[in-house]
Amino acid sequence: MILAAGGLLWRRNAGDWQIAIIHRSRYEDWSLPKGKLEEGETWQEAALREVREETGYDARLSGFAGAVAYITERGPKIVRFWHMLAEGEPVAFMETEVREVAWFSRPEALRQLDYPVEQALVETWSGPDQLAS
């Protein structure tokens, strides 16, 4: 079983909420930032680390956003996601894995994401109340 964690990284821009979506070189897809847990790491620690590595942003963890499960070439995979708020300015992200980090409105993100299970996580977002700590 592959265990992974990720985030729905939100920010407020000119009064509107936006979510960060990454374009991955390896898969030529648009997805939410996520990755495998490292030994001894909690789900939340992994989610924050992966978001930082793949978007360049530090984030503040907020509410649990949901989990998805699917089969990969290497076996079953479970990914748990959290809502997060972007903090500060971005630093360098993993350009070997991520070609681009882009911010989208919720409707734009729903059109841009390549995976229905990730679209469903974004679709269920009920607004900034879910981002309260």
pLDDT band at 133 (very low <50, low <70, confident <90, very high): very low
What are 20-32's pLDDT values in tens digits? 999 998 999 999 9
What are 79-111's pLDDT values in tens digits? 999 999 999 989 887 778 899 999 999 999 999
Range of the domain at 121: 2-126
Residue 133 included in any domain: no
For residue 84, the Cα-to-chain-centroid distance in whole angstroms is 9
Mean pLDDT throughout 114-120? Answer: 96
Q: What is the CATH number of the domain that holds 48?
A: 3.90.79.10
- pTM (2 d.p.): 0.93
Domain count, the chain: 1
Q: 103-126 burial, b for 16+ CB within 10 Å, e for fewer?
A: bbebeebeebbeeeebbebbeebe
Residue 132 included in any domain: no
Euclidean distance between CA atoms 35 and 25, whole angstroms: 15
